[in-house]
Amino acid sequence: MTAGGWKLIEFYDEGTVELYNLSKDVGERRDLARKMPGKKNELLALLHAWQKRVGAKMPRPNPDYKA
């Protein structure tokens, strides 16, 4: 998701999030998720609200998968 020069990436399989300030870091080299938890949470809430609004199908673990 991008908003106002920010980009948030949520990795469902790992349970992690990355946050980038695209106006200062076009190459997405500096993950700011830990340094800016407020911005991360703000964009994550927007992303989840959008997913709910559009009825996005989210990935779920396969119960039949054996590692």
Domain boundaries, the chain: 2-54
5 against 3, higher pLDDT: 5
Tell me which residue of 24, 25, 21, 27 sits closest to 2, measured CA to CA: 21
Pick the CATH number of 2-54 from 3.40.630.30, 3.30.1120.10, 3.40.50.1110, 3.40.50.300: 3.30.1120.10
Eight-class DSSP state of 44: H
Tell me how crowded residue 20 is: count the other CB atoms within 10 A of its CB. Answer: 21
Contact 6, 43 (CB under 8 A): yes
Contact 18, 33 (CB under 8 A): yes
pLDDT in tens, 9-63: 999 888 899 999 999 999 999 999 999 999 999 999 999 999 999 999 988 888 9
The pTM of the full predicted model, rounded to 2 decimals, is: 0.84
Tell me how crowded residue 22 is: count the other CB atoms within 10 A of its CB. Answer: 13
